[in-house]
Amino acid sequence: MIVQFGPYPPPYGGISTYVKRMNLYLNSKNIKNEVWSSTCKKGIDELKQVRLKYLPMYVMADKNIRIIHFNITGISSKLYIGICNEVFFGKRKKVLTIHGDSKDLFISRKFLIRRALNSFDTIICVKKGDKKYLQSMGISKAIYEIPAYITPVENENDFKHIPQDIWDFIESSKFLISANGCVRLYNNEDLYGFDMLIELIRKLKDKGYSVSLLIALLGSDMENNSEKLYYQGLKDKIREYNILNNIMIFEVNDTEFYPILKKSKLFVRPTNTDGYGVSIAEALYYKIPAIASDVCSRPEGTLIFKSRNIDDLYIKTKDVIENYNLHKEKTKDLNEINNAEKLFDVYKELDSLISIAK
C-alpha cells in the first residue's frame, strides 16, 4: 500500500490539490493507497486523520505500508520525519516532495537538514534546477524534478459546488480573465498581485476593452488583521475605480479551480515570488493562454511579463486580447505531460509490487 501524508482539501491549495489528484490517479490504476492527514474530514473513504506527532505509531501498526510519500512544509517537520525515518520507519520506502524552493531549507541548521533529506529514499523537486542544487549540498539519494501539476480527474460535483452567482458572472463576461491566490504580503508587496490585476482591469476598461476579472480567493477565513485590512483596501479600490461590474471576487471554500479555468479566455498570475505556478500549467492544459511574472521558471508556453511592472502586464494582456486566436492556437501545440504517471513510475522503481492491483 502507498500512503500519502500531507494536506487534503478543503481548503484547496497547491499541495492539498496535488495530494487529492494523486490519490484519484492511483485509484484509477486500482492501486491500494490511502491519504493520511490532520486536515482530512472523517468518514471519507481512503482518508485517515493522523497528526504528525503520532505518525510513527500509525505506521508501525500497519504492516501493509510499502511506500510513504510525504508532502509536508517547513523545516521542523522535515527534521522530525528525518528522525522517524531512521528510528521507526525501517525498510519502508520513503518519498519526499519539496513543494517550493529547496534553497529555503538550507538557511540554517544545514547539517541537520542534510541528514534529514538523506533519510528519504527518493526526493521529488517541483522546481527546475533544484536537483543540481541538492546534490551540491550533499544529498546523495535519488532526486527527480517533477512539476507539482497533476491533471484533474473531472467530476460533475466540482461544477455544482460553484455558486450560481459565479456562473452568472462568467456567462455575462465577454472576455473573462481569471486569477487565484490568497491575500498575502511578501516584501511589503501583494504576493499574488491582486493590486496589479485591479489596475489592469481599470486600464483596460479606460482604453475601451470589454473585460471581466474573476478572482478565486483562497483562505479568506484565515487572514490575519493586517491581511483583512489590505483585502478591504482592495475592495475599496474596486469601488473607487468604478469597476464593480467588471470584477468578481469568489471566496473559495470547497471548490476546484479548473471549472472556472475552462470558461476563461485568459489566466494571469502576477506573483512577486513563486515556485512554479501550478494553476498556469492547469490553464495551459485546458488550452487557455496564460500570463505570469518572471520571478521563476514557468511552464512551457507561458507569456512572461516583468514582475510588478503594470505597463508590461498591460501590453502583454492587450496583445492576447487583440490577437486571441493566434495565442489560443499556440496553446494547442504544447506537449501534454502526465506528471502523475511520472510519479507513479518513481513508485514502481522503489517497489515493483505496488503495480499489482488491489
> Residue 10: is the preceding peptide bond cis (ω within 30°)?
yes
User: What CATH fold (topology level) applies to the domain 156-331?
Assistant: Rossmann fold (3.40.50)
Q: Is the pLDDT of residue 43 over 60?
A: no
What pLDDT band is residue 45 in, cutting at 50, 70 and 90? low
Cell, residue 42: 472523517
pLDDT tens digits along 279-294:
999 999 999 999 999 9
Rounded alpha-carbon distances, angstroms, from residue 65 to 12, 26, 29, 89, 144 = 27, 15, 18, 10, 22
What pLDDT band is residue 11 in, cutting at 50, 70 and 90? confident
267: which strand partners? Answer: 178, 290
- Give residue 232's identity as a one-letter amino acid code: Q
> What is the pLDDT averaged over residues 145-171?
93
* Alpha-carbon span 331 to 40, nearest angstrom: 36
pLDDT of residue 78: 96
pLDDT of residue 51: 93
pLDDT of residue 222: 87
C-alpha triplet 185, 191, 193: angle, nearest 5°: 120
Mean pLDDT of the chain: 93
Q: Is the pLDDT of residue 70 over 80?
A: yes
Determine what percent of the chain is predicted with pLDDT higher than 90: 79
Answer yes or no: are the C-beta atoms of 265 and 288 closer than 8 Å. Answer: yes
Q: Is the pLDDT of residue 41 over 70?
A: no
What pLDDT band is residue 355 in, cutting at 50, 70 and 90? low
> What is the pLDDT averaged over residues 99-112?
90
- Give residue 353's identity as a one-letter amino acid code: L
CATH label, 2-151+338-355, candidates 3.30.930.10, 3.40.50.150, 3.40.50.2000, 3.40.228.10:
3.40.50.2000
pLDDT of residue 353: 75
- Give residue 349's identity as a one-letter amino acid code: E
> What is the pLDDT averaged over residues 97-109?
90
Q: What share of the chain is helix, strand, coil (3-state, %, to 5)?
A: 45, 15, 40
Q: Tell me whether domains 2-151+338-355 and 156-331 share a fold.
A: yes
pLDDT of residue 297: 85
What pLDDT band is residue 352 in, cutting at 50, 70 and 90? confident
Q: What single DSSP character describes residue 33?
A: E
Residue that the C-alpha cell 528525518 belongs to:
82
pLDDT tens digits along 229-280:
999 999 999 999 999 999 999 999 778 999 999 999 999 999 998 877 889 9
Q: Where are the domains of the chain?
A: 2-151+338-355, 156-331
Answer yes or no: are the C-beta atoms of 256 and 262 closer than 8 Å. Answer: no
Q: Is the pLDDT of residue 174 over 90?
A: yes
pLDDT tens digits along 303-320:
999 999 999 999 999 999
> Structure pTM?
0.87
- Beta strand 47-49 with 67-70 is unpaired
145: which strand partners? Answer: 125
